[in-house]
């Protein structure tokens, strides 16, 4: 999870959570979440979810999700204690592949990017829906991922983000199979790589490149039951390197400095103004360079993060930021009269992160489905929020996509103090699975409400 709620809005979100985490989570949401008003739900979609929850077969399925909760939690714990650093998810991927195949996804495989992908075929005539959770955590190799339990909470890096999602995928496949639930559409289960940090959504980019026939996506991340991520915050990240001749601080005084050139660029970047709506942000996150305190720096480097909920605004910001660089370098060269290339400082740029922005509109069937399912379970007011997640990829391709929760409470994502409270976690798993079943349809119960985008 690349932070679940990175965008601010003047509209205060409604918070409905368990008492243990209410203050902390609501503070995050109120300070950070850009939201959209909940949509009006069509009669067709409302009736679909009413019929689903009234069907005996679906009631048995959901009852089994609850009855299987202890086993699901045990599997969740096992997966948590398998390291999955960025770009080194293979060990966890191989375990997920074994589980996919054991649960009957006979064509399951690890693709060229490292994703574990398995198809649960429907009876035909319905959409293809990706249902995913990401394998990677933000933590480097060697991090202690053993679970510690205190007062009913489970503490371990990555235990919620997104290991809970992986365990939920496995629990769903098991319950669907054991209850012989036949969907109309196909469900492509994906345990993907590259969601965190500089993974740059590489896993999900591969999935949608390799399979152009996908009609929608539902991703599972740690979030409250009433949270629906429908805005994809895009980001561009650059590493900028400045190089000059360098020299001794006293003997070579008058030579250009790579650090001074970078400082001029930093000052110009800091003065850039961005719109409040759509929220558009920037920061220079790291700076390095130089050799010693008594050296005119021959090299310097900075990394820039730029984000927006709108792709055009992100590109406009990128243009502004990059335009400061040649000006800053020219000013540094002019200041010291560096009139030949050998005397001058220059710069190079490298794109190190590219997450496309996008949005699934509130009026979309997939958003309405999640809201209708939440209402059918008696959940709190829906919160449609923005974040940078795997859903950015399909959103940028105009493929409807959302992120929903898998149950349980958690806090401290991306820290070594991350914890997960499994109390009543099955409720979130039930509700999110019901959302998915309405989208793909269930034979003999409801027709799919997610439409195919093109003839098969």
pLDDT of residue 21: 36
Residue-by-residue DSSP string for 387-405: EBSTTHHHHHTT--EEEEE
> Strand 383-387 and strand 35-36: pairing?
antiparallel
Contact 93, 188 (CB under 8 A): no
Round to whole Å and give the CA distance between 185 and 126.
4
Round to whole Å and give the CA distance between 357 and 104.
35
The string of pLDDT tens digits covering residues 312-344 is 999 999 999 999 999 999 999 999 999 999 999
Is pTM, for the whole model, over 0.85?
Answer: yes
The string of pLDDT tens digits covering residues 215-244 is 999 999 999 999 999 999 999 999 999 999
* Structure tokens, 257: 């400095």
Torsion sign across C-alpha atoms 218, 406, 418, 115? negative
3-state secondary structure of 208: helix
The string of pLDDT tens digits covering residues 393-439 is 999 999 999 999 999 999 999 999 999 999 999 999 999 999 999 99
3-state secondary structure of 133: strand
- In CATH terms, 19-233+357-440 corresponds, of 3.40.630.10, 3.90.480.10, 3.40.50.300, 3.40.50.620, to 3.40.630.10
**Burial group, residue 276, by CB count within 10 angstroms (0-12, 13-18, 19+):** exposed
pLDDT of residue 2: 53
Contacts of 270 (CB under 8 A, 6+ apart): none
Task: Report the topology of domain 234-355.
Answer: Alpha-Beta Plaits (3.30.70)
Side-chain half-sphere CA neighbours of 15 within 13 A: 18
For residue 130, how far is the Cα from the chain centroid? 15
Q: Which residues of the chain form CATH 3.30.70.360? A: 234-355
Question: What stretch of H or E contains 374?
Answer: helix 365-376
Q: Which residues of the chain form CATH 3.40.630.10? A: 19-233+357-440
Stretches in the chain below the pLDDT threshold 70: 1-34, 455-456
Round to whole Å and give the CA distance between 349 and 303.
10
* Structure tokens, 329: 């370098």
pLDDT of residue 455: 64
Pick the closest to residue 217 from 404, 6, 1 (CA basis).
404
Dihedral, CA of residue 446, residue 451, residue 455 and residue 456, to nearest 10: -60
pLDDT of residue 101: 98
Round to whole Å and give the CA distance between 356 and 364.
19
Residue-by-residue DSSP string for 203-265: HHHHHHHH-TT--EEEEEES--TTEEEEEE-EEEEEEEEEE---EETTTTBTB--HHHHHHHH
Q: What 8-state DSSP symbol labels residue 343?
A: G
CA-based radius of gyration for the chain: 24
N-terminal to C-terminal alpha carbon distance within the chain: 33
Contact 258, 243 (CB under 8 A): yes
* Structure tokens, 100: 């996919």
Contact 168, 134 (CB under 8 A): no
Round to whole Å and give the CA distance between 406 and 167.
9
Dihedral, CA of residue 279, residue 282, residue 283 and residue 289, to nearest 10: 170
pLDDT of residue 35: 77
3-state secondary structure of 33: coil
Contact 388, 235 (CB under 8 A): yes
Pick the closest to residue 421 from 438, 408, 432 (CA basis).
408
Q: Which residue carries 């449609």 as its tokens? A: 384
3-state secondary structure of 341: helix
pLDDT of residue 16: 31
């Amino acid at each position: 999870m690349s932070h679940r709620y990175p965008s601010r809005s003047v509209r205060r979100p409604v918070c409905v959570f368990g008492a243990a985490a209410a203050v902390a989570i609501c503070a995050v949401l109120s300070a950070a979440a850009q939201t959209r008003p909940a949509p009006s739900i069509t009669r067709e979609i409302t009736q679909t979810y009413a019929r689903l929850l009234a069907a005996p077969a679906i009631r048995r399925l959901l009852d089994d999700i609850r009855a299987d909760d202890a086993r699901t939690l045990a599997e969740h714990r096992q997966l948590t204690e398998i390291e999955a650093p960025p770009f080194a998810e293979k060990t966890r991927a191989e375990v997920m592949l074994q589980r996919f195949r054991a649960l009957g996804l006979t064509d399951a495989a690890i693709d060229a990017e490292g994703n574990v992908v398995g198809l649960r075929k429907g009876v035909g005539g319905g959409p293809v829906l990706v249902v995913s959770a990401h394998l990677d955590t933000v933590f480097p190799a060697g991090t202690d991922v053993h679970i510690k339990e205190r007062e009913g909470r489970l503490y371990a890096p990555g235990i919620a983000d997104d290991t809970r999602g992986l365990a939920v995928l496995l629990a769903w496949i098991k319950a669907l199979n054991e209850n012989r639930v036949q969907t109309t559409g196909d469900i492509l289960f994906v345990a993907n790589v590259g969601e965190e940090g500089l993974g740059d959504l590489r896993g999900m980019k591969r999935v949608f490149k390799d399979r152009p026939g996908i009609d929608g996506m539902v991703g599972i991340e740690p979030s409250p039951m009433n949270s629906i991520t429908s805005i994809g915050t895009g980001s561009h990240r650059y590493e900028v390197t400045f190089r000059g001749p360098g020299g001794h601080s006293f003997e070579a005084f008058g030579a250009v400095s790579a650090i001074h050139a970078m400082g001029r660029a930093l000052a110009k970047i800091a003065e850039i103004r961005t719109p409040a709506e759509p929220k558009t942000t920037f920061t220079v996150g790291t700076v390095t360079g130089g050799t010693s305190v008594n050296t005119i720096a021959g090299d310097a480097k900075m990394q820039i993060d730029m984000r927006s909920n709108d792709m055009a605004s992100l590109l406009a910001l990128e243009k502004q930021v990059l335009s400061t660089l040649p000006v800053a370098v020219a000013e540094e060269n002019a200041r010291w009269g560096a009139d030949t290339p050998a005397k001058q400082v220059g710069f190079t740029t490298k794109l190190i992160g590219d997450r496309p922005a996008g949005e699934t509109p509130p009026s979309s069937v997939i958003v309405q489905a999640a809201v209708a399912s939440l209402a059918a379970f008696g959940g709190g007011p829906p919160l449609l929020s923005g974040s940078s997640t795997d859903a950015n990829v399909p959103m940028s391709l105009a493929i409807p996509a959302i992120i929903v929760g898998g149950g349980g409470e958690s806090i401290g994502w991306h820290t070594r103090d991350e914890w997960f409270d499994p109390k009543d976690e099955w409720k979130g798993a039930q509700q999110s699975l019901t959302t998915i079943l309405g989208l793909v349809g269930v034979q003999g119960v409801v027709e799919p409400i997610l439409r195919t985008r093109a003839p098969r």
